[in-house]
Amino acid sequence: MQVLRVTGGARLAGEVQVVGAKNSVLKLLAATLLAPGQTTISNLPAISDVTIMHELLLRLGCDVAETSDAMIDSVAVNVPECPASEAPYELVRQIRGSINLLGPLLTRTGRAKVAMPGGDAIGSRPLDLHISGLERMGADIRIEHGYIIAESGGLRGAQIWLDFPSVGATENILTAAVLAKGTTVIDNAAREPEIVDLCHMLLSMGAQIGGVGSSTLEINGVDSLHPTTHRAVADRIVAGTWAFAAVATRGDIHVRGANAGHLEIALDKLARAGADVEVLADGFRVRSIDRPKSFDVVTLPYPGLPTDLQPSAIALLAVADGTAMITENLFEARFMFCDEIARMGADVRTDGHHAVVRGKERLSGAPVRATDIRAGVGLVIAGLVADGVTEISEVHHIDRGYVQLEEQLRGLGADVVRIESATFGG
């Protein structure tokens, strides 16, 4: 088993490069299915989730050709006239984003058989909003033997009100609606930058979408779409992780390739914690000298502070001056991370979807376990501000979302190595 061994104490300083967002790229790849022919997507992060989505597209009958350098891939997906319709469990269960195959497959082929992704370490993740939205458009959907089977003789536009601005449900309904008959209106739609990115790619394929970036999307279905080339939006969560790491370690990081406008609340929190945040033409720079001051965190759909940055925020607040209240509104089990960081001496108490973090001068290195991508990287930040050595097991979670994390950390002056450990974790 691989573990990351982090020796604390470094002040991170230097430059990092942020590439395309995992949570956009997976959806862009699924959306290539909407048009026969070759669609090319660039700025893809070289992470394991993207590899699994390639594998899924191959199973659906596409040709997938990659060109890559160390961090970034470009991929050309050649989509057949009649793609297959089944996304198998052994691949789907590894990445939640594969549920995004449902909308494109259904609208393109009239049938989609996508495995139910199953449980997740960050909490229960129901699909009711995806299903009821597609049903309103005329799909016949049933769950059989662990699969969602969706069929339709032709989807038609509908008025859909989402109870909650779900990212995945908005994307599935949107990608189904672009080829449906008539107009679909999605009210209370999610408006994350990754959804805007997907809309831009769909528009360049010939889709008709109004209200892009707002919480009401109006989609006029067209008869067919054409292939395109598209560059994925930068990963705001990776960029935000670097910003939190800079402040936690009292460092100075220039985050290149990032869009500060996608992180307004997070960067404002860091400024209030005492950091100097500078927006640059090619990204932003975050500098901090003193111990950060505590701040409260409430996770919310965009433009709120993203739940995916919550563990990084807690790692910073664990060494901040003062007491912070964290409210997690999206994924109840994300506080599993608190039990791990508590092993490093953090003073964190949780009650339902609230946590209270009382900052300490330093944490203390310990063996800990990454329970998901974001918890894993939160533990890396905690390791950087801990005395001694922190060994983080289950590194494969981190590899799902962060490209060359330890190489980039070493470039900033951190002492981080990946080692094989036969005994760690018991």
- Give the chain's length: 426
Closer to ligand EPU by Cβ: residue 10 or 395: 395
Is position 374 an interface residue for ligand EPU (rule: CB under 6 A)? yes
Is position 118 an interface residue for ligand EPU (rule: CB under 6 A)? no
Stretch that binds ligand EPU, among 61-69, 303-311, 318-326, 377-385 (CB under 6 A): 303-311
Is position 168 an interface residue for ligand EPU (rule: CB under 6 A)? yes
The site that binds ligand EPU (CB under 6 A) totals a number of residues, namely 25
Contact 323, 359 (CB under 8 A): yes
Is position 166 an interface residue for ligand EPU (rule: CB under 6 A)? yes
Name which position in 33, 127, 139, 366 contacts ligand EPU (CB under 6 A).
Answer: 127
Point out the catalytic residue in the list 120, 128, 268, 282. Answer: 120
169-203 CB burial, b ≥16 within 10 A, e <16: bbbbbbbbbbbbeebbbbebbbbbbbbbbbbbbbe
Name which position in 59, 93, 96, 291 contacts ligand EPU (CB under 6 A).
Answer: 96
Shortest distance in whole angstroms from residue 92 CB to ligand EPU:
12
Shortest distance in whole angstroms from residue 347 CB to ligand EPU:
25
Closer to ligand EPU by Cβ: residue 283 or 401: 401
Is position 26 an interface residue for ligand EPU (rule: CB under 6 A)? yes
The yes-or-no answer on residue 120 being catalytic is yes
Is position 23 an interface residue for ligand EPU (rule: CB under 6 A)? yes
Closer to ligand EPU by Cβ: residue 26 or 87: 26
Contact 98, 91 (CB under 8 A): yes
Closer to ligand EPU by Cβ: residue 275 or 379: 379
Instruction: State the binding string over 401-420 for ligand EPU (x if CB under 6 A, else -).
Output: x-------------------
Cα dihedral 326, 332, 337, 338 in deg (nearest 10): 50
Stretch that binds ligand EPU, among 77-85, 166-174, 227-235, 256-264 (CB under 6 A): 166-174
Is position 330 an interface residue for ligand EPU (rule: CB under 6 A)? yes
Annotate the chain with three-state secondary structure: CEEEEEECCCCCEEEEECCECHHHHHHHHHHHHHCCEEEEEEEEECCHHHHHHHHHHHHCCCEEEEEECCCEEEEEEEECCCCCCEECHHHHCCCHHHHHHHHHHHHHHCEEEEECCCCCCCCCCCCHHHHHHHHHCCCEEEEECCEEEEECCCCECCEEECCCCCHHHHHHHHHHHCCCECEEEEECCCCCHHHHHHHHHHHHCCCEEECCCCCEEEEECCCCCCCCEEECCECHHHHHHHHHHHHHCCCEEEEECCCHHHHHHHHHHHHHCCCEEEEECCEEEEECCCCCECCCEEECCCCCECHHHHHHHHHHHCCCECEEEEECCCCHHHHHHHHHHHCCCCEEEEECCEEEEECCCCEECCEEECCCHHHHHHHHHHHHCEECEEEEECCHHHHCCCCCHHHHHHHCCCEEEEEECCCCCC
Name which position in 73, 235, 308, 340 contacts ligand EPU (CB under 6 A).
Answer: 308
Shortest distance in whole angstroms from residue 182 CB to ligand EPU:
23
Closer to ligand EPU by Cβ: residue 79 or 370: 370
Is position 307 an interface residue for ligand EPU (rule: CB under 6 A)? yes
Strand partners, 7: 389, 415
Place of tokens 């597609």: 134
Shortest distance in whole angstroms from residue 269 CB to ligand EPU:
17
Shortest distance in whole angstroms from residue 176 CB to ligand EPU:
14
Closer to ligand EPU by Cβ: residue 308 or 406: 308
Closest residue by beta carbon to ligand EPU: 168
Name which position in 45, 83, 97, 376 contacts ligand EPU (CB under 6 A).
Answer: 97
Is position 169 an interface residue for ligand EPU (rule: CB under 6 A)? yes
> In angstroms, what is the C-alpha Rg of the chain?
21
Range 226-255, binding ligand EPU (CB under 6 A): none
Shortest distance in whole angstroms from residue 121 CB to ligand EPU:
9
Is position 126 an interface residue for ligand EPU (rule: CB under 6 A)? yes
- List, by residue number, the catalytic residues: 120
Binding site for ligand EPU (CB under 6 A): 23, 26, 96-97, 122, 125-130, 164, 166-169, 190, 306-308, 330-331, 373-374, 401
